[in-house]
Structure 1
Amino acid sequence: MEDSFIQLNYLPDEILMIIFKKLNNFDVLYSLMGINKRLDNILQDSIFTRYLTLTKPPIGSKQFTDAIIDRICVEILPKIHGKIEWLNIESSFINRILSTNYPNLHTLVLHNLSLERARDLFTDGSYFICVFEYQLSSLVIHTDQSQKATSSFKDINIFLYTQILTMFKNLQYLNFSPFAYPKSHQLTFNLSFPNVFSSTLLHLHVTVDTFDDCLYLLDGRFNQLNTFDVTIYF
């Protein structure tokens, strides 16, 4: 392994860039960041730092351990945090990952968001909202569809929808996958229509319960909306 690294280190920067660009950004950063100053300088290039995915690998692949997450948070993210513009995060890691400041982050994708974590993240005055309310322009939420179905899904979906569009002042793109409850509702407003408007939202991607819910979203409350991508459950 040592001989292999020496051979790698002898290659010119241009060749190393070609090799690294063919690999997963996370694998490159995790494996090579901190070895020496030369590699650190190469890995500071925006092609490796602008877009970062920190989600659980598929079953059968190497899983994230506490040691891996510790190294990411302590040794890697502090070196590149100012260059990250887009983060894909497993929601179970979010408290640790977002403890670092990301001044140029504009897009956040949350995977497998649980019911309990959703309540914590989007409650008024939460750290998450305080930090990102003016910063995020794009937000994608993939909820944990493996959770046991419960009637509270309807309420949490309305809560999340309302909080997101109220609290994030510069949001332009929202892709919201609501908690699914097939015997009841996806995202539905019924007779309770939250008084939510946005003059910044340009693209909305959402799943709703009925066609009436779809019409509610198109009643003019998003006066700059130019793209509406909707799935109607019934």
Structure 2
Amino acid sequence: MDLSDEILLIIFEELDNVEMLNSLMGTNTRLDRVLRHPIFTSHLTLMKSSSNGLSHPLDDIMVDRFCSQILPQIHHNIKWLNLESLSMERVLLASDYPNLFGLGLYEINYDAALRHFSGIDIERLNVSIPTNFSSSTLVELHRNVARFGDCLYLLDGRFNQLRSFYVRICIISSHLIYPSSITDNKKELVNLKCFSLISNCGTSDYDELILLLLHRISNLEKLTLYVLLDRYTSFIDGNHFQQDIINQLPRLNKFLFNIYSFINITDLLYQPTNEDIQSTFKNFNDCKISSAVDYFPKEGNSLCHIYSHPYRLKHYHHITNNFPGGLFNYVEDISLFDERPFEHEFFIRLTKVFPLLKKLRVSNEEPQNYKNCQNSNNDNRYSSIIEYPHLTDLSLTFVHEDYVEQFLLDTKACLLNNITLQVGYECLQRVTHNFTNNATRVNCAKLTCLLISQCWRYPKLCDTYFPHVKNVFG
């Protein structure tokens, strides 16, 4: 209590505001005054989120306390509320919110939304409800949808003042559009200034669907485009962006992208190098752009990955030996694939590039070339051990056994406790010398969950070798 109000506010801003309000509001007059500050009470998330992405209500006692005691004291400060369906009605009826301009609604059904928000002016909405919902005042919308057609429905005029639209789409396919259900999918979207489209599933309908939609947004100023594309003859590159996007959108001043182009090698008109791809961005002077081009003869496939900086996603997939590097302070989930081996030095590089790495999937059936050279100098034995300070989920299913050694040998890797490992039983058995190898015993003792293909076919794992494994799944 000897601290000034300013210092207390700085401390409170670093903590969970909902927990702090619940714990401290009503303790004494001075703390109440600091806790009611607009900086601390403008944005409230009155729900809990689980690791699988689902939303859950707060405890009833906590919701009752907010509705009866806390919200009436801070209602005029609240500008944004994140709510879930079970407690939404109680919170909204607890007080008036004269300065509220944004709502995040989770696990809510259409009837509930229509009952509470019909006729209400809402400027910003982050909501997961069916598409038959309209507003003449909504200016910002965040949505997750199943199909590209759902995106078109939302842009058919029902939100005629919409200026910013952020959409994540599961499937982008012309076969799932259902044109008869769309009111107007050709009209220009003159009010839309900011558009973000993210999809983690591949599509071959980029030109027919995504480009045609972009060309309707004639006054677009900011574009974010993160997609995986199955292409036919050529990769997406700077020339394509210039001709088909930038030249078509004269007001565009900020363009963020993360594009994967996959093409069958035999269908390529020619095989550009990474330098060729980089040269197509010579006129993009406002941002740094990275690229990686790979050819996989055994698979008969090719890949070109291009992205702008800064990279804000939490995942980075399809990493190969041609990975351009950098520093990715947000990425927690990565996957590796190549038809050339990943050597020990490559994994050293990964831990430096991805300091927050939590989930790693490796797919590579080529043996390492230099695995026996690592510890030839005894003086450097410990300096070559790679630490993975945040890794909790490791998948080594489709790999040569060298990569199982790469992570289980204590001369190569230092793992956290509580690791989930996905691996083939026979490969695990060989690397651990039928669960007797002392060099892999330390890291195996750190495993808490094993996902083993067809483990029911094999003898029971040695309990003493995996003392902390609680679950084994086949």
1:141 CA displacement = 1.3
Residue 188, structure 1, aligned to residue 149, structure 2: yes
Instruction: Find the aligned partners of 2:178 and 2:123 in 1 and give their Cα distance.
Output: 23
Instruction: Find the aligned partners of 1:48 and 1:17 in 2 and give their Cα distance.
Output: 8
1:199 and 1:223 in contact (8 A); partners too: no
Equivalent of 1:55 in 41, 47, 54: 47
Q: Alpha-carbon deviations, 1:60-97, whole Å to 9, x = none?
A: xxx83211110011110111111100111122211111
Residue in structure 2 matched with residue 148 of structure 1 by the alignment: none
Instruction: Find the aligned partners of 2:140 and 2:66 in 1 and give their Cα distance.
Output: 28
Residue 87, structure 1, aligned to residue 81, structure 2: yes
Secondary structure of the residue aligned to 1:64 is: coil
Residue in structure 2 matched with residue 77 of structure 1 by the alignment: 71
- CA gap of 1:210–1:70, structure 2 versus 1, over 3 A, is same
Q: Alpha-carbon deviations, 1:131-183, whole Å to 9, x = none?
A: xx22x21101146xxxxxxxxxxxxx3xxx231x3xx22111111223x5xxx
Identity of aligned residues (%): 32
Instruction: Find the aligned partners of 1:57 and 1:175 in 2 and give their Cα distance.
Output: 18
Instruction: Find the aligned partners of 2:27 and 2:77 in 1 and give their Cα distance.
Output: 20
* Unmatched tracts of structure 1, length 5 or more: 1-8, 144-156, 181-185
TM alignment of 1:61-210, pairs within 5 A: 64-99=58-93, 100-113=95-108, 117-122=109-114, 126-130=115-119, 133-134=120-121, 136-142=122-128, 157=130, 161-163=131-133, 165=134, 168-178=135-145, 180=146, 186=147, 188=149, 196-206=157-167, 207=169, 209-210=172-173
Which residue identity does 1:139 align to in structure 2?
L
Which residue identity does 2:84 align to in structure 1?
E
Instruction: Find the aligned partners of 1:228 and 1:210 in 2 and give their Cα distance.
Output: 19
2:149 and 2:178 in contact (8 A); partners too: no
Instruction: Find the aligned partners of 1:194 and 1:15 in 2 and give their Cα distance.
Output: 46
Residue in structure 1 matched with residue 191 of structure 2 by the alignment: 224
Instruction: Find the aligned partners of 2:154 and 2:37 in 1 and give their Cα distance.
Output: 47
**Which structure dedicates a bigger proportion of its chain to strand?**
2
Which residue identity does 1:162 align to in structure 2?
N
Larger Cα Rg: Structure 1 or Structure 2?
2
Residue in structure 1 matched with residue 316 of structure 2 by the alignment: none
Residue in structure 1 matched with residue 5 of structure 2 by the alignment: 13
- TM-score when normalising by structure 1: 0.68
1:223 CA displacement = 2.3
39-48 vs 201-210, which moves further:
201-210
Secondary structure of the residue aligned to 2:106 is: strand
Secondary structure of the residue aligned to 1:108 is: strand
Which residue identity does 2:103 align to in structure 1?
L
Instruction: Find the aligned partners of 2:186 and 2:192 in 1 and give their Cα distance.
Output: 11
Which residue identity does 2:21 align to in structure 1?
L
**Which structure dedicates a bigger proportion of its chain to helix?**
1
* Unmatched tracts of structure 2, length 5 or more: 52-56, 204-474
Instruction: Find the aligned partners of 2:49 and 2:158 in 1 and give their Cα distance.
Output: 37
Instruction: Find the aligned partners of 2:178 and 2:5 in 1 and give their Cα distance.
Output: 53
Q: Alpha-carbon deviations, 1:185-219, whole Å to 9, x = none?
A: x3636xx9996344311122233653485997762
1:98 CA displacement = 0.8
Instruction: Find the aligned partners of 1:90 and 1:213 in 2 and give their Cα distance.
Output: 30
Instruction: Find the aligned partners of 1:30 and 1:101 in 2 and give their Cα distance.
Output: 20
CA RMSD of aligned residues (A): 3.2
Q: Alpha-carbon deviations, 1:1-40, whole Å to 9, x = none?
A: xxxxxxxx33322221222122111111111111122111
How many pairs align? 188
Instruction: Find the aligned partners of 1:201 and 1:194 in 2 and give their Cα distance.
Output: 9
Higher RCO, 1 or 2 (CA under 8 Å, sep at least 6)? 1
